[in-house]
Structures are given as structure tokens and as C-alpha cells.
Amino acid sequence: MLRFFLPIVVGMTSLGTVDGNGSRFAEHGPVQVSENRRHLQHEDGTPFFWLADTAWNGPLLADEEDWDTYLMDRAGKGFTAIQLVSHAPWRAAEKDAEGRTAWLGRNDPTINPAFFDRLEKFVKAINDYGMLAAPVLMWTCTPDDPGQYLNEEAIVRIMRYEIDRLKKYQVLWILGGDGDYTGDLGSKWRRIGRQVFPPTRNKTPVAMHLCGMSLPYKELSTEPWLDIWGYQSGHGDDDKTLTWMHSGPVAFTWPEDSKRTFINMEPPYEGLQATHSNEPHSSFNVRRAVYWSLLNAPTAGVSYGAHGIWSWQTEPGEPLNHAGGGIAPPWSEAINLPGSGEMGILASVFTGLHWWQLRPNPDLVRDQPGMLDPKAFIATAQNADRSIIVLYLPIGGRVEMDTDLAGRTGDRINPMTGEREPISIDPNGNLDSPVDADWVVILRES
């Protein structure tokens, strides 16, 4: 039987009460999209900051005691959601831990209720720790994934069953996982979305999980069922990828689309071998990606992933059908990678603000170093009256700010430790931070 413990983090935040017994939802109601469509909130209007961990295979392969240990750790570090795959087979898991699949057969699949009996226990546990469950209803990346080899009628039938089994829990639906939603494939998934989520559906939010560095704005922008652009910046580390993160399609699409929430649901996984350098992604790589992603569009949240957690390794090895990412450590080791603790610091930084009011404003910086070096890009956002300004400096140094901000004071925060120290903009509009480190700066109205 699953055991539930009190997470490390307790008390009141802008997220509501977090006490390990699901009271976030009991107190504030289910999660839905805000009235302005820019972030998530509870039914009573309390903003919900999305900080998800990527545990795609966790509910499929974990045993109950290990899943309990994992959830206690993530809740204690401030995570608010868990991303998972709600079926097997898929490319990274052929069966669940008990040897079951979600359906039998390929041409006319027969749903296996026993698979979902097990899955439900693991989804319920996510809620019992006060976190939202975010199941991918159908993975569709390669021909080995059911979103490609199943026919359209079967996909719709299975998705409807998944929704029927899980709708009693606190969830956010992810329609498709890691797919190409352009051209003919885009037409297919638009039809599927309309059948699975008709206009009469309830307010449970729906997202898509897109291919890396993809934002099929024109193909999906008119879909009434799509609430969240769940994009993926991917696992590269070259200049093109970094530019895409902070100054790519997301940065110039969000002002054109007033109906969507933008969330990077797959930044680089900590410990995964980077696509370009072939070096494991460090916690710094992850921090840089998530802060850029929080500030490149109206702030709503971000996801984190760790090599070894997403595939739920029980021993060191290369995840199934995922060559090239390097040997993944067991989940019990990956759970302690430093980046996951730094996500808790990120959560405390943003939940200490009215983060849902933040909007990007690149004009706050007079001389953007990211124009010459994408790795040096300074992300900036503010609320409507500039009483709160947030900056992320990936390499520190001098920032030439808008001279109207001269004299403004605030805090410089170490994103690895959470330590704060006072900072101010000098009379010439300059803001200085130590070089060779990344910093978060919060400026408030003097």
C-alpha cells in the first residue's frame, strides 16, 4: 500500500497551503486556465505556479515504496506537478512493472483495465502529495510509438478511456507527446483533439507536448481545445538552440496569441548528454534554460527533468530505445542531482512575487550582450507599472539598464543557494554583479 509522508515544505505561499495531504486542491479547487489565458489558477482564482518534474516512466515502472520516496522528495523541493506517460507500450517502456500493457493488439486494440487499476494508484499518490498529475495521453514521436502506428479511431477510443479513468483526480491533460503536429500530421491531431475534447468538456486544461524547437503556431492556433503551448526547447547546447530558448518563436509568438499559456515542458535534462557538445547537461545548463523560459513569455511556470528519473532507471544504463543520451544513473541517485534542489529555490523566488503579472520587456536593457553571444543573453520581465522587475544574468557582469531606473534597489539572488544580498542601479543606469556566475535580480519600486 502506498505510504504518504509530510513533505519538507509546509505552510502558506501564493500557491496555497502545501501540506502533503492534497489540501492545495481541497482549499482552492481544481486547476484551470486563468481568465486572461496567460497562466494557470485554481477554481477560486488563486494562481498556480507550474513547476513540474518529468517522470515519464515513473508510474509505469516504479514500485509503490520507491514512488512514495520520490514524491516526498519532489513535494519537499517545491514541485507542483508531475509529468507522466499514461500508457505502455511506448518507445521507452514496453510494459509496466507487472508486465501489463494498456491495450492488447495493434489493429483493433482491446483496452486492458488491469493496467489502469495500477496506474490510478500512482496518479492518486501525486495528488495526495499536493501535486498536479500531467499525463500524456498518447506518445507519438516515432513509428514505434502508438500515436503513429495506431489508427485514428483507436487513438480516440483509448484516450477517452484514459480520461474516463483519471478524470476523478487533479490533472492537466497532455494530448500528444513529442510529436510533429504540422502538415497532414497536424490535421490528424487537430481532428483527434476535437473529438477527445469537445466544446462541452469541463475546464481541465489541455496542453500539447511538441517536438524539440518546434512551435506550430499556424497549425494549432485556432484549436479551441488547446489551452497551453507545452513546447520543448530540447537537449541541445549550441548557439542556435540557446537563441531559440530566449529569443526564438516563443518570444515573438506570445504577443500574437492572447489565448494561450506558454510553458517549456522539456528543457534540457540534467545529466543527459547534450546533443551538440556530447557533454552531460550540468545544473547550470538547466538553470539557464528554465530561467530564460520563465521570462521569454508571460510567466506561467516551467518543467525540469533528470536523466535517470524520466526513464525510471533501477540500475545504470542507457534508457530503452534512446541511444546517444549517455548512461543514466538509477533514479535513486538522479533524485539528488543538484538541479532539482535549485528548482526549489526558483519556486521560492517566483512565488514570493506576483509572478503571474510578469511580461517580457527587452527594452529594460540598453546594451544586450546576447546580441553578440547567445550564452550571455539577459532575460528581463516586469509587471505593468514596473514596480517589480526580474532579470536573469547567466554570466554576471555589468548590465546597462534603462536610465529611468537609476537608483532602483532590490536583491541579487544566488540561484544555487538562494542567498540574497542588496543591489542597486547606479546614477548612470548600471547594475553590477560578479562575473563567472549566474544571478537572479529582483528590483522593486523605491
Residues 67, 175 within the same domain: yes
Same domain, 372 and 435: yes
Residues 351 and 371 in one domain: no
Residue 443: other Cβ atoms inside 10 A: 25
Same domain, 168 and 271: yes
Q: pTM value? A: 0.95
What is the CATH number for 379?
2.60.40
Confirm whether 208 is domain-assigned. Answer: yes
> Distance between alpha carbon 251 and the CA centroid of its chain, in Å?
17
Q: Which residue has the higher pLDDT, 21 or 8?
A: 21
Residue 158 is predicted with a pLDDT of 98
Q: Is residue 173 part of a domain?
A: yes
The residue from 356, 383, 415 where one domain ends is: 356
> In terms of domains, do 42 and 113 share one?
yes
pLDDT single digits (tens) 285-342? 999 999 999 999 999 999 999 999 999 999 999 999 999 999 999 999 999 999 999 9
- Decide which of 329, 356, 383 is a domain's last residue: 356
243-252: pLDDT as tens digits: 999 999 999 9
Domain that holds residue 345: 11-356
Count the domains in the chain. 2
Q: Is the pLDDT of residue 446 over 70?
A: no
- Same-domain status, 311 and 423: no
Shared domain for 127 and 46, answered yes or no, is yes
Give a yes or no: residue 36 inside a domain.
yes
Contacts of 35 (CB under 8 A, 6+ apart): none
Domain C-terminal end among 299, 329, 356: 356
SS3 state at 343: helix
Q: Is the backbone peptide bond immediately before 330 cis, with ω within 30 degrees of 0? A: no
Is residue 325 a part of any domain in this protein?
Answer: yes
Q: Looking at the domain assignment, is residue 1 inside a domain?
A: no
Verify that 160 and 49 share a domain, yes or no. Answer: yes
In a domain, 379, yes or no: yes
Distance in angstroms (rounded) separating the CA atoms of residues 304 and 163: 25
Supply the CATH number for residue 19's domain: 3.20.20.80
> In this predicted model, what pLDDT tens digit does every residue of 123-171 receive, in sequence order?
999 999 999 999 999 999 999 999 999 999 999 999 999 999 999 999 9
